[in-house]
Every structure is written in structure tokens, then in C-alpha cells.
Structure 1
């Protein structure tokens, strides 16, 4: 009865002797890997694993099994990943558990292992990790171009072989998105791209260059209706696109395009651009689950791109306001007379007690617009930045260094005539 239950178990199970030779295999393990029971029994683990349809680390698995046999410590839920000969670029995941077998007299008989197919669970975990990374990495910068490039870097090769992020020029400048009319495609630029091939040879435009799309291309249709697309390449829906875009058609024929996903970048109902996910013929084509994942990835990145756009607009507005506050032209000189006094006492025109203080005064020399004294401060401390940019008032910082060789005047003051550029500190 027990052997019948183990034989019908959905988990792959086997028993190996102390030489790691197969002595028993159930039906589930026989179906896993494409080898029959007769081809496994009596053979070592190291000889069977290379014959399987699965591309696994044979030496690593045998080493782990040998360690369990020698130490008696079980191996539980060890993750194995590898493709098959039919689908080498479509990784599968298996959970391996190994434990040692003993007789009634506690004599070591061998080991038994259990193998479970956990591909769906592993893929779900990988997709969740990808989404979390997209949200964290794209939200770490407030530059539109850097955010778009981060999206492309994270998506390759985990989701696609080639990713291109194209944004409206108005978005890159920080302006309100303007998609344009149906017959007049908007001006767009390549904001980010990444590929499994070094140098991104399949791209028709470099990062930062302008990109053009035909009004009837899938990219423009995706931006106009705001809906994602999953296209098989080449297909009937893309033949007209190839005819109107010979440059991209040549790249597709050169690299053997397999499938394409187009996702619009939407933020608060506005279209910011479009993202293109491409797989070549070496990999399996995109599925509906891949489309859902790509939409979620772009949705999270769209929030960061829109935040970067708004920051760019506010930053440009602040710079324009600062420039408007500056004078149109500077008149007069920029030479100052600087005087200070060390130690206690009260400097001229000051009535407050100042024991142990250093008093500093600076005024513009004759010939400039007018004299402008600067407030005094403690020794070793400096004043803050000027509150009136471009008007000739400059902060003075006084250090504690030795200023020997400078003569004092009758009032105990030392004069330092210097030339100071506006906006610079005098030390």
C-alpha cells in the first residue's frame, strides 16, 4: 500500500543507495526529464542528470546529495533552475528536498529525494520582485531621461531582449503633454533603451535623438487610443507598418523579431510616450501574462516619469524667476575696504559690549555706487548669503588665522583693501 501511494504521488520521488545509484523511481519522476525508469535504475546520479531534457547543474546536485548522505542533515526546498532542450531560453524552476534513509538498526541505506515543479510560484515571485525594483529604482531620480533609461535597464533581459522608451519632447522639457493630432504625429525623442546585445545595434536612433513614427504605425495607434498591444512578428497587422518604415523593417529582418509589446505611458489621463518590448526568435514569444506584467511595469514607471516632468517644470520656473530678479547690468566698481578689530572693546559707531569679539566692517571704495557697511560678527563665524543679489552686499567670513605684519591704525583697526567679485566670499 505504501509503495502504491508513493508511486502515484504527483511529486517526483526516487531512492538512491550509498553509491548514489537509482534503486527506485516513481511515475512522476519518470515523466520529469524524459527518461524512462529502465534508463535510470542501477545508474549513478552523475550519469543520469546529463541525459535529462533539463539543463541543470549536475555536479552541484550530486555534491548536495553526497553531503546529505555523509552528514545526515536534510536538504529542504532547494531551488533548481534550468531550461529544456526544446525551450532553452524559457527557464523552469524545481524544488529539491533530500534526506538520508536508515534501517531499523540505524544503518545508513542511502538517500531519497523529492522534486516538485515550482515554476509558476517562482515566476510569480520574480514578477513581484521586478515590480518592486521598478518602483524603487525609477523613483530615485527626478530627471526624465534618467528615469526612462532606468526603466529600460531593469526590463532587459528579465522581461524582453530589447526595450525602447520614447517620450514626447514636451514631456522632456517639463511642459504639459501634447500628443498632437491623428494626421500630425507629435515630436518625440528616444529617452532610454537597452538590449541584450552590446551597443544596442537593433535600435534605429541613439538615446536623445528624435524619433519619427508613421501615423498608421502601431506606436502611434497605441498612443492615440491609450491601449496596449501584443503583436506577433511578422504578422498581417504589421505588414503595412513595414512598408512605411523601411529602417525598422530592416532591423527586424536582421535580428529575427519574434514578438512585440507596446504599452502607452499614461499619467493622470495624459499620454507621455510609448514603451516597446521586443523578444527575438531565440526566446519564446510574449504571452498574455507578459502583457499584464509589462503594463504594470510601465504604470509604475509612468508615475516617476510624470514626477520628474513636474520637477523639471518647477525647476525651470524657479531659475527664470531668479534670473528676473538680477539687474540687467552692473554699474560701479566692486572694490571693498575691509576693516576689523580684534579683542574686546567697542568699535566705532557701536555701543554694545563686545568683549572677546572680532568686529568686521566692509564698504565699497569711492567711485562706486555708494558705501554699504556690512554687519559685524563673532570671531570664527560667518554671515549668511546676501539677501539682495547683485546689489553689492557681500558676506564676510573671518577665520582665526594669524595676520602678522599688518599695521594697525590709530583706532586699532586693520584695513584690507581688496577686490571682490559679486557673489564671492572674502576671507
Structure 2
């Protein structure tokens, strides 16, 4: 059995950094993710004047409930969607002039539902080039609060950004959501806000956030469930066994639900109080599965689908088309490079295994870390797979290739 130490959750680290910066006092984050995304978020906070102290195993952040310490700043968000979406909301609660820009990849990703909602709340915000995209500038004067309507059908991060802002407003927020994808990520946000002392509740499609700010605390970041998916899938595909400590029945992350898809495909799954184990049973079954709530793990299932005993159809994943790349199309094109029959629609992909196993080929990564890590799993059964940009895993897991090589040895591949 392989025991794999997974780095801290990207989603939790980003939320914790926002909450720590906004809280009254000094917050210590233990086991935060150290990657390009989280380093970019921390760099953005420092640019805004927050103190971020770091040791190998923990970060300390001096909170500023009144907002950024500087009144003029230009923040570069790199490729990080959480950085690019959360930090403008944090800056809006302060007082000053703040400009946000990002990489070409992040500039392409949509932002308009969030920025429209911020404008509806009275925030002076303008997009400098394409409407609804970075770069943008905010002339911040605090946020009064009140009622706002939000479409979060493209990304739950729009809702999370507003929720995180809520306690920093003068009157609180009442957010009515017309559409929402990836609901489990919102549940992470709500749980973490409460840990930092916020009063937030949901009433159907409406979220009620009271004013009052946040209180500093010590917060342990759990392992990243999305990253764990590649190691769990490796076990299911090869007949090996993988245990990930730190992810169990109390985990915040909805992406741990990925193992339920593996169970449906024939793997043996055990979820304990503080760990999860997946073991392969010698084969994979074809399935039809709705992955709307765990769409970041869609490429992982797509990558092992060619080895199933029947078609694998993944539905309700339209939002994967507006991630770091069009992940649905990227998976389809790469599977076809391997000789696999694939069909796609606006929000679905169907992989149809053939008599012959996939053949080796170079995977086009589109600069997307999840495409690399997913097709690395395919490579456990398909010799000759390579990547045009293997280093893009630095976004969330700089040591992925070394960890996966160790796993390969442990499970005898």
C-alpha cells in the first residue's frame, strides 16, 4: 500500500489568506499550499500592504480589518483565479486606488458576473480593456452592503468573493443567487468564514452575511482533494492501493466525492475519520456520471476512461470550458491523439473504449496543470506519453512529477 502526503488545499489556502488578511489580529496558517497560485496570492497581499511572514510549515498574516495598508497599488495576479477574483473584493473594502492585472491565460477567463455585482453594491470599478476581464481598476471607498443578485453559473468563486467581502461591509450582504456551479466549494467558504467568527447563513438561494468582521485564529489547511484524485485514480487503474492521510469524513472539500465515482467504476473505497483509501479491483466499469459539483476532477475520470469496460459519459460540466483552458475540449483532443474515440457536447464528454489500448503520444497541455496530472495517470498503462509543458504543474503542485514517480515505484508500475 502507498501512503501519499498530498500538499495543502489550493482552495482552502486562498480562502484562509483572505480571511487572515481581513481578520482582527494575527492568524497562523499551518500546512498551507506552497505553489505558484498561493505564492501569487501572498504576493498580492504584500503588494496591498499586508504583512505575510513565512516558515517552512506555516504562514503568519497580520490582519487589517480596515483594508489594505497602502492607498495605491498595482497587483499582478499571475494565473491564479482565486487571486484575481478574491483580492479585488478585499481591496474594495478599503480606501485607495487599486489596479489588478493577470497573465494572458487569466485575462481570457470571465469575471463580469462578479464585477457587475460589485458595481451594483456601489464599488467604483472599471475594466481597462475588455469588459468583464482583467485588467481592472477599483477606486475603493469601503462598501455599504445591502442586496445584490449574482449569477454564479460559470464559477462559484464569484459567490465566494462576495461572501468573503460580506462581513467587511457596513450593513452586511443579502446575496440572491440565480445559478450556481460547484456548490461544495461554497460550503467550504461558509465553514471557514464561521471559523473566523463570521455570521453567515443560507436561506434557499439567498445568502445572508452580517457585518462585524473576522477574528484571527490558528488554522490548519487540509490536503488538496483535487490533487489527491490523481493518486486515487492511479490505484483504481492499476490494481494498487493508495491511502491519503488528512482527508476523511470531516473533510471540507467536496472534491473528495471523486472517490464515489471511482467506487461506481469498481474500485474499493474506505473513508475513515482522518484518511481515505482507494484500491483497484482489476477492472473499471463504464458509467454515466454528473460531475457538476466536482468538475475539477472531470479530467481525471476522462484520463482513465479508455480502460473501462464500456463508455464513460461525464455530464453537466459546461463550466470546465472556462477554466485555465477549455478542459472538456482539451481532454477530447488529447484522448483522440491517443487513438481513443470521443464525443462531446456543450456540457458533456463521452469516452468510448475500443478493442485496442491507447497508444503513446505527446499530450498538449494548454498550460493547464490538471491536464498534465490527469494524463500522467493514463501513462501508468500507456507507455510513451509525454507533455509539451510538464512544468505547468507548478501552479498547484511543483513536486508532482517526483511524487508520482515515487507512487509508480510503490505500486509496481
Q: TM-score normalised by the shorter chain: which range applies?
A: under 0.3
Which one has the largest radius of gyration?
Answer: 1
Greater relative contact order structure (CA < 8 Å, 6+ sep):
2
TM-score (norm 1): 0.26
Please give the TM-score of this superposition, normalised by the length of structure 2. Answer: 0.27
